[in-house]
Amino acid sequence: MRFGKIAFNPAHNPAILDTATWDEAAAVQVLAAVDAAFWRAAREAGRSDATPPAGPVTLCSGSAAVLGGSAWFLAGLPDAQQLFVAIGPEGGESPLGPACATIPLGPGERVAAYRTDAALIDRYCRTIRPDKGPRPLAAIPRLGIGARMSTAMWPGAYRAMDQGRFAANTIQNSVRELELLENILAGKPPEAIYYPGFGVVESGHTGATFEGLWTYGVLEALKSDGRFRYGADADHIKVLPGPRGLDWARHVLECARYYTFFTLDVSAALDYAALAAGASAAEDYLAARLPDARQRQALLAYHAAPRRIGGSDYRLDGPALGRLVGKYWEALAAAEALAAHIASLKDSQPFDLEFAIDERSPDVETCACITSDEEVAFVLLEAQRRGLRFTHVAPNFGVEKGVDYRCGGGLAELESRVRTQYRIAEEFGVLLDFHSGDDLSSTTCRVIGRATSGRNHFKIAPEPQMLFGKTVRDFYPDLFRRWWEESLAYARREAAVGSQFAADCIRQQEAAGQAPSSTDPIFHNFGFGFVGRRGPDGGYLNRETLYSLAPEFYRAYQDRLVEYLCALAEDLFRPGT
């Protein structure tokens, strides 16, 4: 099937389109051929909260509701399309608006069918099943689960949340992992993004889009019979300096308008050098950022007022304020502008908002730019002064991809710092967020859990995909070998253009002399590129294969995912049990 300028099969390429009804005429034809007795039995099951009947259309009990005398369901068709159906009396207004088709059942009764477009899914969750839609969760502790494998992953994630009694943002990927739907349909080649310490990453390397990830993630939640609280995180919306950077971020936010959580990654707008400025240079930063003398005096008076924050004294003199203003002023101004834009998009609906300062510029080592307690207090005081409603803040705690915690002072120093910054955040009603947590050991995760009294937000992304790769290796060794060889070719390309990290990974693999595995440095660090890799025409090269494997494969993968997520949640949210 062709969509825009590229061809793909949505049944095996999920989370791309912003609808699961891509051939309305064929879908309606299937519904019209279903026997009226099936629909009547489904109506009665819906009204009595019973299991819907089996038949040519799969009615999802997790989505069921009774409203306006009709039984409502999410319906799955044999070709993997999905629609909403309402079985009941004719007439009356529908909360979803006009139906795309109406099938008569008899005198005064009908089946009304509705497309599963993003706007209608949002309306279904807000008006018919609000308990099954994504929600802003404010200060509720939770995982952020990167959804790189989308529909292959979500059934396991939702089962883990139900079983392990924890909340999560299950719809979560970053601007590196997702594309905009308009770019995919236009056949636009992926953008090359430089990633500090790694090399070049292609945008949209999961193959999914911001619009599609939300659409399919919510549909999977509606299919689940579990009870859980979840959100949708438009992760790492990069805030680049200057008007064009803000315009780009605004456009991404418009594409992610139905998300409930927005992570503003302002790291590129931070001036790291400002913190090392001498007294005179620090005063210059203050004058440059605030040319108006009265504004400077007012700001200094605000931050010079003695306070106790997080159990410590907070009071800034002119140079101290100048350094923090130098580092954070542009980033805070950008956050103000983007928060206002999100509010206009959400039209008075609440949302979670994260100020992410955990990433670094290429010339700064991770352990050399750990966020201080004073910085966290300054950022949250400034947010309060400006009326910015941050629900989350992500300082740089010294966490690195690929390794366990290794900064100076070890875990004792990490626990002390996290505990203090947790207290600061708590005073402002804000939750601390920990990014890139996949490679942290269980011991380190328990340290974070203890230091935050189990009240934290912890994001992962690669590990669910690594578990998928491990399961591919066990079930389909030839497919895994192809995946691994493409990962090696990726690493060699990066090493050839100067990536020391890629060269080191190749050297480690060669020195080990072991057969390819899902945990070796090649697959662990470069395996992500295989999933959404596209050809010159913009079409997907590998993705369809990964989403059309045997049912027993996906069950095994999801079992492993449940075990991993439940153990992680225990370490983070119940560290003393």
- pTM score, whole prediction: 0.97
234 forms beta bridges with 173, 262
Backbone angle region of 108, left / alpha / beta, with phi > 0 → left and psi within -120 to 50 → alpha: left
Q: How many residues does the chain have?
A: 577
Among 70-79, 87-96, 307-316, 354-363, the minimum mean pLDDT is found in: 354-363
- Count of Cβ atoms closer than 10 Å to residue 538 Cβ: 19
Co-location of 465 and 575 in the same domain: yes
Structure tokens, 83: 């629609």
Q: Do 140 and 104 fall into the same domain?
A: no
**Domain assignment of residue 51, yes or no:** yes
Cβ atoms of 473 and 480 within 8 Å: the answer is yes
Residue 472 sits in the same domain as residue 522:
yes
Residue 366 in this model has a pLDDT that exceeds 90? no
Q: Has residue 341 got a pLDDT over 90?
A: yes
Q: What is the dihedral of CA 321, 322, 324, 328, to 10 degrees?
A: 130
Confidence of residue 482 (pLDDT cuts 50, 70, 90): very high
Is 550 domain-assigned? yes
95 & 188 share domain: no
CB-facing half-sphere around the CA of 556: CA atoms within 13 A:
15
> Is position 206 within any domain?
yes
Q: Which helix (H) or strand (E) holds 73?
A: strand 70-76
Domain boundary among 82, 115, 148: 115
The C-alpha atoms of residue 480 and residue 487 are separated, in whole angstroms, by 10
Is residue 465 located within the same domain as residue 577?
Answer: yes
213 shares its domain with 157: yes
pLDDT-derived band of residue 577, with 50, 70 and 90 as boundaries?
low
User: CA 41, 47, 51: angle at the middle one, nearest 5?
Assistant: 60
280 located within any domain:
no
Distance separating alpha carbons of residues 411 and 399, to the nearest angstrom: 11
Q: Do residues 177 and 148 make contact, with C-beta atoms less than 8 angstroms apart?
A: yes
Q: What is the pLDDT of residue 243?
A: 84
Kindly tell me the sign of the dihedral angle through the C-alpha atoms of 29, 34, 36, 38: negative
**In terms of domains, do 473 and 505 share one?**
yes
- The domain of 512 spans 131-234+461-577
State whether 503 and 540 are in the same domain: yes
Cα–Cα distance measured from residue 291 to residue 294, given in angstroms and rounded to the nearest whole number: 9
Neighbours of 452 (CB within 10 A): 26
Does residue 204 lie within any of the structural domains?
Answer: yes
> Is 559 in the same domain as 483?
yes
Structural domain count of the chain: 2
Mean pLDDT of 141-145: 98
Q: Quick one: which H or E segment has residue 410?
A: helix 410-427
What contacts 515, CB < 8 A, 6 or more positions away?
none
Query: What value, to the nearest 5°, has the Cα angle with vertex 362 and ends 360 and 367?
Result: 50
Tens-place pLDDT, residues 306-337: 999 999 999 999 999 999 999 999 999 999 99
Token pair 């993003």 is found at 118
Q: Say if residue 69's pLDDT is above 90.
A: yes
Tens digits of per-residue pLDDT, 415-453?
A: 999 999 999 999 999 999 999 999 999 999 999 999 999
pLDDT number for residue 200: 82
In a domain, 250, yes or no: no
pLDDT in tens, 43-57: 999 999 999 999 999
Same domain flag for 52 and 163 = no
**Has residue 257 been placed in a domain?**
no
Please give the average per-residue pLDDT across 558-562, as a whole number.
98
